[in-house]
Amino acid sequence: MDRRDFSKSLTMAGIASVIGAPVVFADTIPKNYVPLALQDPDPFSLFDKDKEMTVLNDRPWNIEAKAHLLNDAVTPNRYMFIRNNGILPKRIDADNWTLTIDGEAAERKKVYSLAELKTKFPQHTYQLTLECGGNGRSEFDPPAKGNQWTIGAVSCANWTGIRLRDLLQDVGIKSEAVYIGYHAADTHLSGDPKKEPISRGVPISKAMQEETLLAFQMNGKDIPLAHGYPLRLVCGGWPASASGKWIQRISIRNQVHDGAKMGGASYRVPCESVAPGSEVTDENMCIIESMPVKSLITYPKSGALLKKGKSLVINGHAWAGELEVSQVHYSIDFGSTWHGCTLEKPVNRLAWQHFRAQVSFPKKGYYEIWAKATDSTGKSQPMVLPGWNPKGYLNNACHRIALKVV
């Protein structure tokens, strides 16, 4: 949805809410007229985001957090990143919203109303980590095209919905099923209704996991429009592009889904390591599945000042795609030595884990604190940028913050 269309779809009460004041003489506004205050609305008000969030793009909307904004154990809406590929859907009618299940490997085609989904199947709530596959793209050299995400395209909210597997089993899955693919209500940037901005999916094994949800609530409330209202997929631990928003149709496929942004370099990396800047043929590119181990220092904010003789408690989160994080370490001497952090267990599988440590500094001066997480198979974050790839995916290099002891 572009800004003018969004404005036209608002009720007068909605307009007043966005503007922050009642519209005097509202009854005299001409039909289809867009008030000046809404012709270039503030994206932070439009999407209820904190003003410290960083807008990377407004067509489509892409907004990320800064590390210190992500300090909450459960990410609130105001700090959740927005990653869109197309234009937000217009004039959503949740009362008449339907979801169609079809595909070559479906036993039958079935159509469900949103109300039917909410009442026919058991509801579940999980805290699930979603991270854009391109989070950290800004560090790649040669540069990778696309939104230059730094470190804030990650979140871990509570999602409530039904298990996708319960729905697929209600339809019936043929033995030949290998993948599911989603289709959504957003529109292509070109405006061509025949083009989908994105249509991705996951292997049937991921679709059948306990935590893979068709969600209709985020943090106990209806999902905000920018995050997929009224219905979205949530496939925790995988690139967030697999968690399609505004879902209207899911196809059970007898092949790897071939929708928009499933081929070429989209959400795919070279199957084998390549030199930076290399050209890689399509057949040598592999789909990103589980995200790699990663950590983020969320307190203190980079640039902090600390008085000499004082110790500092740092904290943050760590996650490892489908795996659990087993250890987190920190360093204040540029990775020469490492010290253990206290690490909490996840509240459920695929939720991020919280770490903390009390850090002492030997004397006045400039310091960097680096964090390094290790997953349950023993793999640790690299201290420098990992393998180059054409679209700048999967940067899980150690996070670092700077501070001075004065």
- How confident is the model over 271-328, as pLDDT tens digits? 999 999 999 999 999 999 999 999 999 999 999 999 999 999 999 999 999 999 999 9
Residue 202 to residue 190: CA distance in whole angstroms: 26
Q: Which amino acid is it at 313?
A: V
Residue 373 to residue 321: CA distance in whole angstroms: 12
Q: Left, alpha or beta for 228 (phi > 0: left; psi -120 to 50: alpha)? A: left
Length of the chain, in residues = 406
Q: Is the pLDDT of residue 134 over 90?
A: yes
Q: In this predicted structure, what is the pLDDT of residue 195?
A: 95
Q: Give residue-wise pLDDT tens across range 281-295.
A: 999 999 999 999 999
pLDDT band at residue 1 under the 50/70/90 scheme: very low
Average pLDDT over residues 30-56: 82
Q: Is the pLDDT of residue 43 over 90?
A: no
Average pLDDT over residues 32-58: 83
What number of other Cβ atoms are within 10 A of residue 256's Cβ? 13
pLDDT band at residue 25 under the 50/70/90 scheme: confident
- The strand ranges marked E within 254-405 are 268-270, 285-287, 294-299, 304-306, 312-319, 325-331, 339-340, 342-343, 353-359, 365-375, 399-405
Q: Is the pLDDT of residue 108 over 60?
A: yes
Tokens of 275: 């030199």
Q: Is the pLDDT of residue 154 over 70?
A: yes
Q: In this predicted structure, what is the pLDDT of residue 6?
A: 53
Side-chain-facing half-sphere of 128: CA atoms under 13 Å: 26
Percent of the chain with pLDDT over 70: 94
Q: Is the pLDDT of residue 18 over 80?
A: no
Residue 347 to residue 140: CA distance in whole angstroms: 33
More confident residue, 112 or 21: 112
Q: Give residue-wise pLDDT tens across range 169-189.
A: 999 999 999 999 999 999 999
Q: Give residue-wise pLDDT tens across range 343-371.
A: 999 999 999 999 999 999 999 999 999 99
Q: In this predicted structure, what is the pLDDT of residue 37?
A: 66
